[in-house]
Structure 1
Amino acid sequence: MSAPDPGEQALLVVIDPVARRVDGESVRIARDVLRGGAATKICLPEGPEEVERALARRGRRRPVVIGDDRALLHVVTVLYRRRELAEVPVSVVPVGPLTAVSLARTLGVPLGPVAAARAVLDGVERPLDLLVDDSGGVVLGGLWIPGGGEGPGGGTDAPAGPAGPNGSAEAGEGGAEAVDPAGAGPGPGCATAEGVPGGGGEGHQPWWSPAARTARSALTLLTGPAAGGRAAVPGCTRLRVEADGELITDLDRPVTRVSLTAADGGLAELAVHTHDAGHPLRSRARRVTVSGPAFRYRADNVLAGPVRRRTWTAAPAGWRLTLPR
């Protein structure tokens, strides 16, 4: 853990175009605070490719994201793929609706533009664990796989979520946009009408967003077919879950939800909610593999899939985030 040296600070400030659109005043305040405390280069990208070029040419500048969780995830993923993430501290000034900055809040970043910008200038770098999947995707907070089946009020329309920055076959054609502030999805057997809880706020549409679909369409995508001709169980899906090679549950035991988060000690915390048990099956492992009929999952604030198999590996101290002292 080390504090940035104010005398040597040089920042690359990447301002998410969504943040400029939904809350230009907070963006201006954060930018002015950062300019007052460090040498800054401002990047105003209009697309993800421009972010990648700016990061590649940043020199010794520390990257600072002014934007929501998706903008942060995009920058982190680019640095990971450049094999620079573990060595480059990342900072963020959250701007956007509460549901769109829930990850930053969970990580301990202040939500006010002044407090967050001052944390960038005066804070400390803290190493944090993360999860990496076998397609090169990065998970900073956690992920969950919902069970199938339609909840009450299935006809409600909602904004669709964009494809995320992790490079996998993600939302693509749509899906509701945000998780709840605590980063948790619905409980066992209670997939909502939108397929996910919460909403992204009016006008909250990242630059890589495809055309929106209704929430009913998103739910249809989340609901996979029954495995091997077995009868479907409402609110459930059939998955094979393994933790460090140990079988946790198989296709013959319907599950209502699977969740995975980075835990202390460089391990992943796994919880599998099954249809026939009152308590989840819990395990800690370095590597977790989920397979079965095509399934979708929500990693941080991004809907991903469909995939038939995905492996997540815990990466201890895989990145560094600047946080208040």
Structure 2
Amino acid sequence: MAEVATSRTFSATSDQLLVVVDPVARRADGESVRIAKDVIGAGAAGTKVCLPDGPEEFARALARRGSRRPVVVGDDRALVRAVELLHRQRELAACALSLVPVGGAVALARSLGVPTGAVAAARAVLEGAERRMDLLVDDSDGVVLGTLRIPPLGGATSVREAGAGMSGPWRRTCRSLVRTLVPAARPPGTVSALEAGPARLRVEVDGETLVDLGQPVEGVTVVPGASGRARVEVRPASVGAEASPLSVEGGTVTVSGAHFRYRADAVVSGPVRTRTWVVREGAWGLVLPAR
């Protein structure tokens, strides 16, 4: 994950804070949520805590934060949701985001350098330093903080889990999506699209074709690299001897071909026929422990 120079260092009295506690985190580990609120509240007198019941209230809380610095208490999905919302509001560049990881899916947070213990993460909120990081933005305004994968490893499970903590229309929508991705019953010997074998995709990096439709591939991985460039790896399908991965760096990545799904961080999207991702250098800031 690319980083640029630290732009700001915070102290307990430098900002008023808005602590947004994701509902999934409250159910998954209420004790860690309580510890995080206590530590942050004791260190910053101007702290406001918001307990949204679902994605719509989560979005409203961020939109109405005013001059408060946002702190998300939740898992990787909550972090990605916050970054995407701020990006779509065109407020990401001016916002330093903090995270206290709570929940089962915190691998992305760990890879970004966020402490996974509630006390350590809460102290970083109060006394950490903002680090600007590169971001992948696609042509539908979606974002990728960590890793993009085609096909989406563990995609079916992730889509099911995406409905956790939702109610009413949100849960019904998620269940409908799951039914389209994972049919309830399949004839013996068949597989779902998420479990299918090698795909035929065209992968272009900065306008140059890395692999075309005639070469089946086992998978494509894209990760924000350094200085506005992404690391792209294509694993060709092999027959007999193992084929070597194809690796390249670039600022724009386009994948096209038959309908495909992709996993961006913790979220599975698609199917789509084509999608383009562009690297935005230093597009978002995350408060991490000061070095």
TM class by smaller structure: 0.7 to 0.9
- Where 2:53 maps in the other structure, the secondary structure is coil
Find the aligned partners of 1:279 and 1:143 in 2 and give their Cα distance.
20
Q: Percent identity?
A: 54
1:75-111 CA distances to partner (integer Å, 9 max, x unpaired)? 11110001111110000000011xx111001100000
Q: Give the alignment partner of residue 144 of structure 2, picking from 139, 142, 149.
A: 139
Contact 2:9-2:129 within 8 A present in 1 as well: yes
Find the aligned partners of 1:280 and 1:94 in 2 and give their Cα distance.
33
Q: Normalized against structure 1, the TM-score is what?
A: 0.77
Q: Give the alignment partner of residue 221 of structure 1, picking from 167, 174, 193.
A: 193
Contact 1:257-1:272 within 8 A present in 2 as well: yes
Read off the aligned partner of 2:229 and give its amino acid letter: L
Shift of residue 6 of structure 1? 2.7
Answering whether residue 207 of structure 2 is matched by residue 245 of structure 1, we say: yes
Contact 2:220-2:232 within 8 A present in 1 as well: yes
1:181-207 CA distances to partner (integer Å, 9 max, x unpaired)? xxxxxxxxxxxxxxxxxx96xx98243
Q: Give the alignment partner of residue 60 of structure 2, picking from 42, 49, 53.
A: 53
Shift of residue 59 of structure 1? 1.0
Read off the aligned partner of 2:192 and give its amino acid letter: T
Q: Give the alignment partner of residue 260 of structure 1, picking from 211, 219, 222.
A: 222
Match of 2:253 in 1: 288
Match of 1:152 in 2: none
The runs of 5 or more residues in structure 2 that have no matched partner are 1-5, 185-190
Read off the aligned partner of 2:76 and give its amino acid letter: D
Find the aligned partners of 2:27 and 2:243 in 1 and give their Cα distance.
46
Contact 2:76-2:101 within 8 A present in 1 as well: yes
Q: Give the alignment partner of residue 122 of structure 2, picking from 117, 125, 140.
A: 117
Q: Give the alignment partner of residue 131 of structure 2, picking from 107, 126, 135.
A: 126
**Aligned positions of 1:272-287 closer than 5 A:** 272-276=234-238, 278-287=243-252
Cα distance change, pair 206–147 in 1 and its aligned pair in 2 (3 A): closer
Contact 1:131-1:139 within 8 A present in 2 as well: yes
Contact 2:213-2:257 within 8 A present in 1 as well: yes
Find the aligned partners of 1:94 and 1:239 in 2 and give their Cα distance.
35
Answering whether residue 32 of structure 2 is matched by residue 26 of structure 1, we say: yes
Answering whether residue 68 of structure 2 is matched by residue 68 of structure 1, we say: no
Shift of residue 8 of structure 1? 2.9
Contact 1:289-1:312 within 8 A present in 2 as well: yes
Read off the aligned partner of 2:29 and give its amino acid letter: D
1:235-293 CA distances to partner (integer Å, 9 max, x unpaired)? 20100110000011111110000000000111011000111462111110100000000
- Where 1:8 maps in the other structure, the secondary structure is coil
Shift of residue 5 of structure 1? 3.8
Answering whether residue 212 of structure 2 is matched by residue 205 of structure 1, we say: no
Contact 2:93-2:284 within 8 A present in 1 as well: yes
Read off the aligned partner of 2:232 and give its amino acid letter: L
Shift of residue 214 of structure 1? 11
- Where 1:7 maps in the other structure, the secondary structure is coil
Find the aligned partners of 1:101 and 1:147 in 2 and give their Cα distance.
18
Higher normalized strand content (fraction of residues) = 2
Find the aligned partners of 1:51 and 1:215 in 2 and give their Cα distance.
26
Cα distance change, pair 71–240 in 1 and its aligned pair in 2 (3 A): same
Q: Normalized against structure 2, the TM-score is what?
A: 0.86
Cα distance change, pair 249–147 in 1 and its aligned pair in 2 (3 A): farther
Higher normalized helix content (fraction of residues) = 2
**Aligned positions of 1:187-198 closer than 5 A:** none
Answering whether residue 136 of structure 2 is matched by residue 177 of structure 1, we say: no
Contact 1:147-1:237 within 8 A present in 2 as well: no
Contact 2:96-2:287 within 8 A present in 1 as well: yes
Contact 2:183-2:192 within 8 A present in 1 as well: yes
Contact 1:22-1:204 within 8 A present in 2 as well: no
Q: Give the alignment partner of residue 23 of structure 2, picking from 8, 17, 26.
A: 17
- Where 1:135 maps in the other structure, the secondary structure is coil
Cα distance change, pair 32–70 in 1 and its aligned pair in 2 (3 A): same
Cα distance change, pair 260–117 in 1 and its aligned pair in 2 (3 A): same
